[in-house]
Amino acid sequence: MKKRILLAVYFFCVAACDLEQTTQNTGNQSVPVPSAGEYLLHNAQIYTLDADSSTSTAMLFDSRGVIKELGDETIMLDAYPDATRLDVDGKTVIPGLIDSHGHLYGLAISLSQAQLQGTQSKQDVVRKLREHERNLSADDWLLGRGWDQNDWPVKEFPSSKQLDDAFPDRPVWLRRIDGHAAWANQAALAMADKDLSGDWQPKGGFIHRDSSGQPTGVLVDGAMALVEKTVPGISPELLQASLDLALQRMVSLGLTGVHDPGINREVLEVYRQRIETGRFPTRVYAMTDGAGATLDWLCENGVVDDDSGRLYMRSTKLYIDGALGSRGAALLADYADESGNSGLLFMSARELEISIEKALVCGLQVGVHAIGDRGNRTALDALENAIRRYPENPGRHRIEHAQVSTAEDVPRFSQLGIIAAMQPTHATSDMYWAEQRLGPERVLFAYAWRALLDAGARLALGSDFPVEEVNPMLGIYASVTRQDTKGWPQGGWYPQQRMSRQEALRGFTIDAAYAGFMEDVVGSLEPGKRADFVVLDRDIMQVPANEIPTIKVLQTWLDGERVYPNL
Ligand SMILES: [Zn+2]
């Protein structure tokens, strides 16, 4: 264990390593270790996010990355004359940010694919794909994600035709921005392990077809697997390079932690290897990918709690419904813009309960993805029953997204101690069309942060990257304004649901830490906790709200080591 941490120091420390170092022989190699000194960060505006929301101007931490004391700069400069000084020039310091629902592995994969977010038309997509194709070898599929037909002049789902014309031979497989639909060319559809034509539909999914029963190129939810299971895997070299990019992006935006919802053992192993070789500048709180093999393994072997403090797995991610954009979210009544369609439950309430119990019996936490009001009610019902049966389970169960609720279900979150793991930028991405889907009544309980907070629920905030952008400043901005970055709509979209800056920051720090059972270690700057912190170029609590998205992270520190810049 000791060796692992020393290796991490070697790769990550920058400021600390510039200082006096000794060399310690750890057996087969020598690695530098920092001097046993202490570091005094000063000339800072520190928001500690402790229980009293106190502020400080100086913070002392040791070379092991443990915070020793916070307080007044003048007093502490006097009290610790020998500490190495880190003058941050009056800048703002906050605890390291934690994204409570961000797909790190998914981000790496998406960075290995064509990025189609923000494309303005189908022609625009094809242009980007041609650019991306230059990096591929002959056997590679052309993969991409991020398209959204709502951004295009023609808002209907596209067909394979545009892709077939440009790429007649190479399979093309493009996931929609929400990950709940995919657009394919005929070369990709032909790879499906089953003939996609006819009039049948797969369970929990939908194949778009023309009048003669031929698939037209878009597969929704459960239908996607028919093609997806034949997509060749990413090469180890491309994966490592993409993870470098993903981690670099995280730390450059002030993220020192992420809850990675839904990974398997293979990914866990990739993370672990990177930790061992000192290439993992963040903390990951991982959730299993459903109630299958990964959960079985976790139950058998016990929770993952790596010595490095950078990798945990003690949670299971389950799904009950799809997304609102593709009308896959399960609603209690029909979609306002499509009668006869109320979305899809992926499984019955009883089946969900069985999966939940499978995790609870092993002492694990459960996070259920639920978007529609029927999805959320089913998840709450199932969790309520399961919690009653396993009172010894430590709880802190979560509903991931908790996007559309009802007046009667909102109070149940706090009553049952269920954390709402929500993504503020989902509201500002969806606000252009969410009311069309939901109508004027249901929309009042959509993205209902204020209602949940007022009812006593705890919100753990995140981005759902790569579905949304990684930058947590965009989430904090959305939380306090409910506007897009152009300031639309004036006054905010259903502004009664806004949060305060303090609440938003808590959601990205201490409350996110709580949702991952890590509030004693990280999430606030207090003596005894890890020195995970971020230096910002402006005061996030004071700048005009419209400046929040452009706040820059100047430095990111993890375990008392600077991981950005100069990773
Ligand atoms: Zn997600």
Tell me which residue has tokens 């375990």: 559
The answer to whether 269 and 301 are in contact (CB under 8 A) is no
Does 225 have pLDDT greater than 60?
yes
Does 24 have pLDDT greater than 50?
no
Residue 395: which CATH number? Answer: 3.20.20.140
The answer to whether 352 and 375 are in contact (CB under 8 A) is no
My answer on whether 414 and 512 are in the same domain is yes
Work out the average pLDDT over 263-284: 96
My answer on whether 224 and 240 are in the same domain is no
Q: How many CB atoms lie within 10 A of CB 228?
A: 16
My answer on whether 245 and 263 are in the same domain is yes
Does 210 have pLDDT greater than 70?
yes
CA–CA dist 538, 553 (Å, integer): 9
In a domain, 179, yes or no: yes
Work out the average pLDDT over 424-437: 97
Least confident residue range of 22-36, 70-84, 352-366, 510-524: 22-36
Distance 259 CA to ligand 1 centre (A): 10
My answer on whether 386 and 292 are in the same domain is yes
In a domain, 22, yes or no: no
CA–CA dist 205, 201 (Å, integer): 7
Work out the average pLDDT over 236-264: 93
My answer on whether 189 and 273 are in the same domain is no
CA–CA dist 424, 533 (Å, integer): 22
Does 18 have pLDDT greater than 70?
no
The answer to whether 262 and 287 are in contact (CB under 8 A) is yes
Q: Nearest Cα to 201, choosing from 344, 321, 397, 381? A: 344
Binning pLDDT at 50, 70 and 90, where does residue 36 land? low
Does 252 have pLDDT greater than 50?
yes
Exposed/middle/buried for residue 62 (C-beta within 10 Å: 0-12, 13-18, 19+): middle
Exposed/middle/buried for residue 429 (C-beta within 10 Å: 0-12, 13-18, 19+): buried
CA–CA dist 442, 346 (Å, integer): 22
Q: How many CB atoms lie within 10 A of CB 298?
A: 23
Domain that holds residue 167: 113-228
My answer on whether 302 and 212 are in the same domain is no
CA–CA dist 152, 141 (Å, integer): 25
Please state the φ and ψ torsions of residue 428, each to the nearest 5 degrees: -80, -15
In a domain, 251, yes or no: yes
Does 32 have pLDDT greater than 70?
no
Work out the average pLDDT over 382-409: 96
My answer on whether 304 and 155 are in the same domain is no
Distance 101 CA to ligand 1 centre (A): 6
**3-state secondary structure at position 513:** helix
CA–CA dist 96, 283 (Å, integer): 10
Look over the chain and give the mean of its residue pLDDT values, rounded to a whole number. Answer: 92
My answer on whether 210 and 261 are in the same domain is no
Work out the average pLDDT over 363-389: 97
Q: Which two tokens stand for residue 247?
A: 């981690």
Distance 51 CA to ligand 1 centre (A): 29
Work out the average pLDDT over 21-45: 60
Between 227 and 112, where is the model more confident? 227
Distance 181 CA to ligand 1 centre (A): 14
pLDDT value of residue 249: 96
pLDDT value of residue 523: 98
- Provide the Cα torsion 205, 207, 208, 210; round to 10°: -150
Whole-model pTM above 0.95? no
In a domain, 69, yes or no: no
pLDDT value of residue 566: 74
In a domain, 494, yes or no: yes
pLDDT tens-digit profile of 354-366?
A: 999 999 999 999 9
pLDDT tens-digit profile of 478-518?
A: 999 999 999 999 999 999 999 999 999 999 999 999 999 99
Q: Nearest Cα to 384, choosing from 355, 411, 417? A: 417
Work out the average pLDDT over 172-187: 96
Distance 465 CA to ligand 1 centre (A): 7
pLDDT value of residue 112: 84
What secondary structure letter does DSSP report for 335? B
pLDDT tens-digit profile of 459-486?
A: 999 999 998 999 999 999 999 999 999 9
Parallel/antiparallel/unpaired status of strands 142-147 and 114-115: parallel
Strand partners, 114: 144
Binning pLDDT at 50, 70 and 90, where does residue 4 land? very low
In a domain, 563, yes or no: no
My answer on whether 314 and 426 are in the same domain is yes
- Number of domains present in the structure of the chain: 2
What secondary structure letter does DSSP report for 13? -
Distance 106 CA to ligand 1 centre (A): 9
Distance 321 CA to ligand 1 centre (A): 12
Distance 33 CA to ligand 1 centre (A): 38
Distance 262 CA to ligand 1 centre (A): 8
Distance 464 CA to ligand 1 centre (A): 5
Q: Which of 228, 253, 279 is the last residue of a domain?
A: 228
Does 34 have pLDDT greater than 70?
no
Work out the average pLDDT over 318-328: 93
The answer to whether the peptide bond before residue 489 is cis (omega within 30 degrees of 0) is yes
Q: How many CB atoms lie within 10 A of CB 191?
A: 18
Does 238 have pLDDT greater than 80?
no
My answer on whether 337 and 378 are in the same domain is yes
Does 457 have pLDDT greater than 50?
yes
Q: Which of 205, 228, 251 is the last residue of a domain?
A: 228
My answer on whether 216 and 362 are in the same domain is no
What percentage of residues in the chain have a pLDDT greater than 70?
93
Distance 226 CA to ligand 1 centre (A): 21
In a domain, 27, yes or no: no
Binning pLDDT at 50, 70 and 90, where does residue 239 land? confident
Distance 419 CA to ligand 1 centre (A): 15
Q: Which amino acid is at 307?
A: D
Does 14 have pLDDT greater than 80?
no
Distance 58 CA to ligand 1 centre (A): 37
Distance 342 CA to ligand 1 centre (A): 21
- Around ion ligand 1, which residues have CB less than 5 A away? 464
Q: Which two tokens stand for residue 335?
A: 């979609």
My answer on whether 410 and 331 are in the same domain is yes
In a domain, 33, yes or no: no
